[in-house]
Structure formats: structure tokens, C-alpha cells
Structure 1
Amino acid sequence: MEEFFASIQPTLNQNLADEFALLLDAVAGQTPYAGAIATAEGLAWRVDLNTEEALATTIDVAGPRYAELNLDLDEAQLRWWPDEWQAVPEDPDTGMRRIASPTDETYALVRKYFETLDLDGDGVYEEWLMQASRFLARGLGSDEVRRVWAGRNVTPFLVVTETDGDAGPALEAFQELNASHPDQERYQEGLRYWQEYAG
């Protein structure tokens, strides 16, 4: 499994770089602060980013709704959890983005390999989750991806999340990808969020 992921790592790195370039074009004029890959079981990837402007809009819209329900608005979740991000425009009729997804190329290879696994084997599924998460984190932190962000004068916070599962790998990825981030105050804020989420 490790050898398989290593063999396609360069393809993922370039696909992610291409996809983030398209996403950054889609939010031109805004201030991106984070990028992520949200995944379900190492599959069904969604490459995403968020901006300070989109976050502020989300808070402005959600705040009154939460107040009406006597609920506290969790601004940390809106900032750090990719499922809450709304910076990249979507088609109002389909709910889909209007841009291509270069990572579909890598995803097709991963899905084909996944279908060959005997998931009933001892520890196979757990090994899959670990290897897939680390594969995606390596891609997200690759030189190819970081060059795209640097070309836009942005140093983002990066994370890989498991949408419906254990937050431990997200915490691990957040620490690995951001420990040397120049904005250490914000890094510590994000780290607290992921530590609390991971329990």
C-alpha cells in the first residue's frame, strides 16, 4: 500500500497545485488564509480553501440565525472546519463548482486501487485510512503546492480532514503542515481547535 501511494505521489502533488491555482483564481481579490482536503475514508476528496472575506460573510449570515435559536455561534469551527467554507463560488442550480478538478486524475487511480483491497483482512482498513491521510497530507504540503500559494504571496494554514470520522489524523496533519507557520498566534488558535475536536 505504501509503495502504491509513493508511486503516484508526484501526480497528486501536481494535480493539487493545478487545482489550488484554479481555486485561487476563483477568489481573486480576496484574502485566502487556509487550504484543505476534506475526505471520507480516504475517498470522495474535496480540495478547498477559504478567505477572510468569505468567513466574515458566513459569520454575519449565521450569527442572527444562531441568536434566534439561543445558540452560541462557534466562530472557530467556521474558520477551521472545511465543511463550513464557502469562498469558492458554486452554480446556484446544481450546487457544483464551475471549475475543473485536476485531482480527479489521481482520485481515479486511488479508487481503482482501493477496489482491489481485501477490507476484511486484519487491519487492512485501518492501514488504508492512515496511508491515505498521510498521502494527501504529503501532497498538500508538497513543494509544488506551496509554490502556487507563494506565487500569490499567501502562506496558508493547511489541513486534511476526515469528514465523518476520527479527527486525530486532522490534528496530526495540521501540526505537521503548519508548525513553522509565521503567524504562530493563529497557529496556536487552530491547534487548540483541532486538539479539542480530536478529544
Structure 2
Amino acid sequence: MHGDECVFFRIPCSYLGIARDEVRHLAGRRVSADGGVAALVSKFLAALIGEDDLWDSTNGKRLTLNAVDLVALLVAELLAPHRMESPANGNAMLARIRSYIDENLMDPDLSPESIARAHHISVRYLHKLFQSDGTTVSTHVRQSRLAACRLDLGRLANRRRSVAAVAQTWGFTSPSHFSRLFRQTYGLSPREWQVSASGPNL
């Protein structure tokens, strides 16, 4: 509602990252805008109403994308309880998230927050997905990065690359922290593994 007028915003389901059968959980549902994501969405959309001059401008297109992202975040928050009730939906989402993590392991800014944002879900829901799989988001990212580093360090072509360079490539910002984690996981220091794995007998 905007004054005495009712304004509708139409956004395709594909833009919100939801399946058509999930729409039934949202139909006719009233959402309070007193706080949280709902309040942000309400204020943002209210501010856009009446700004007709913006729509055909570059700034207008950016604002539109921001509006869609905010609504997608709200929708994901509203659907989270229903998604948790459906193992099939949860498993499919977890598989997509794992693939996304594998594709972005080199990004040092990869985090639960950035992963959740990329999939239009709440961080809380993201943690629940991994918890149901018996692990945590951070543990999965860390183990995946360690495995990538181990593979890289074992390649003959990378024999002359420093341990720090390989660690940095795969998102580890602290060489000492990486070395400690590597030893705890594999029982060898990164350098010891690099020398043994790329030796003349391999």
C-alpha cells in the first residue's frame, strides 16, 4: 500500500530462485514489515514508487536488480521452513551449493554470507543444510581447499612453486595457518608432502 493506492510489483519466479510449486506456500500470505528483511524490502520498494524517471536509466536498472535481490532474500527466508521439510529440495539445494563452492574455492572472500547471498537463502538455512549433512559450511570449504592444495602440491609441474603461493591460490590468506591445518589433516607439512609426492620415483 502506498497512501490510498495499492501498488503491485511483478517478479518472475526464475528471478527469485524458487520453483513454481513453492509459490503455493507464499500465496495470500501477509508479511509484517516491522523488522528484519521484510522491513528493508518494504522501505526499498516504497522508495521506488513514483520514481518513473529512473526506470530507463542505468541507475534504474541497478536499483531494479537490487530490489529483486532483496525480495529473493525475503522469499528464501519465508520458504526456509518448508524447504527443510522436503529432503528432496534440501538435497538439490545442497548439491548446487557444493558445486558453487568448488567453482569459487580460489576466492579468498568465499564465506557463509557470500554463499547464502549467491543462492538467495539465509545464512541460517545454509547452516541447517550442512548440519543435516553432518558437517558445517566452513569445514566443507576448508577441507575442499586443503584437498585442492594437496593435489596441486603433488603435481610435478608445480614442484618449484612455493607452498605459500599454492595456499594463496586456493584462498588461504595465512601461510602459517594453512601449514598447520595441512599437517593436522594429512600428517605431513605441505613442503614434506610436496617433496615426497613429486619425487623422482613418482
The structure, 1 or 2, with the larger RCO (C-alpha pairs under 8 Å, 6+ apart) is: 1
Larger radius of gyration: 2
**Higher strand content, 1 or 2:** 1
> Do Structure 1 and Structure 2 share a fold, with TM-score over 0.5?
no
